[in-house]
Structures are given as C-alpha cells and as structure tokens.
Amino acid sequence: MMYLTKVIVLLSLVATSSAFVSSQKINKIRAEKHDSVTYMASALKEMPRSSFEGRMRSLVIDNRKGEAAKEKFEKSRLPKNIKIARTLREYRDIVGEEKERIVVVRFYAKWCKACKAIKPHFYRLAHQQPNTLFVEVPVTESNANLHQGLGIPSLPFGHIYTPEGGLVEELRISRPHFSTFSNKLQTYLNGSCDLVDGEITSPYNVLKNEEVLSSTR
C-alpha cells in the first residue's frame, strides 16, 4: 500500500512538472508571437502608404508642373509682337491703350481643336507682320464675362482694331475662314479697299455720279 502511494505521488509530481514546462513553452511561444505581430504592425505603420488619393495627388501635381513647363516653353517661342490678355483689365491695357499700331486679336480655348489647328497660321501671320500687335485671349473661368461682353459667338474668333476706327472687323478665324481674315487685315495694312466681287468700277464713282445728279436738281 505504501509503495502504491509513493508511485501515485511520483506520477503526480511528474505530471505537474510536465504541465509547468509545457506552460512555460506555451507562454514563450505566445510572447514570441506577440512580439512578432507587434513588430509587423510597427513595420507596416512606418511603411509609406501608396493610397489612391496619394497617387492621384501626385498625378495632379506632376500634370500641373508639366503644363507650367509647357506654357513657359511656348511663351519663349512666341513672336515678339504677340501679347496675352487673360483678364478684362489686361485686355483694356493692351488693346485700348494701343494708339499707333493695328491690333489683331485671337479669342481661343485650350480645349478647342479648331483653335489648335489655326494657332500656327496665326503665329505665322504675326511673324509676317512684325509692326502689327497680335493679342491672344484664352477662355478661362475668370474671364468668361470678357468673351460674353465682347459678343464672341464662337471659337476661334478674331478682331481687328485700327488706331483711327477702333474695332473694324469681327470674323471667324477657323481654317476655312482664316484666309479671308488675313486678306481683311492686309487691306488695313495697305490702306486700301477691295472692290466687291463682280464689280468692275469703283464704288466711289457711283457716289460721285449721285452727288452730280443731286446738285443739278
């Protein structure tokens, strides 16, 4: 009986010892796992987040930088006799204050395909007429009232101003109409007037004959 009791006590001690060792191993594993999870969470937290919003913001910033660089490059290539008016005040200062030269204005929008198509023709005309002032007026959110106030019906559109007569021509200047616009400008530069198609006599002769008839009555 005494022997059986000793065996039971011994087995109990062994079981308790095994349980203690197992518990220590389990606690160690849990601690290591916790440390590992904590480390991974910390590492993920420190990693830069590549969110959709962040990517879109970067694209917008890069696009703005690209547009600014492109605009700066295009300005450097502009003919010296071309100015840009983005506001009503700038338009008045540039066009209204010019008292010596003929002024040619192009109203356009960056998103307009017809405006893009006529752009090189407008610049070529400016190069050909260095003594004439050419002005570009882009459509923006802040100057829409400028285009409305001047009655611009479509884009691209052109104005011609002379020192003596002010606004003398309002014409469409898309590709099918640009040659007409250019010819109109040339008449003001030459200081002459073309005959109407089909006429072989000067219109001034008709006026002179009417004045003679009225004086004899």
How distant, in Å, are the alpha carbons of 29, 205, 215 from that of 208? 116, 5, 11
Transcribe 78-125 into DSSP letters. S-TTEEE--SHHHHIIIIIT--SS-EEEEEE-TT-HHHHHHHHHHHHH
Report pTM.
0.58
Token pair, residue 12, equals 């109990």
- Give per-residue pLDDT as tens, 58-101: 777 777 766 666 665 465 578 899 999 999 899 999 999 999 99
Confidence bin at 105 (pLDDT 50/70/90): very high
What CATH topology corresponds to 75-190? Glutaredoxin (3.40.30)
Residue 161 parent element (H or E): strand 157-162
pLDDT of residue 212: 39
Decide the pairing of beta strands 157-162 and 166-172.
antiparallel
CB 156 within 8 A of CB 120: no
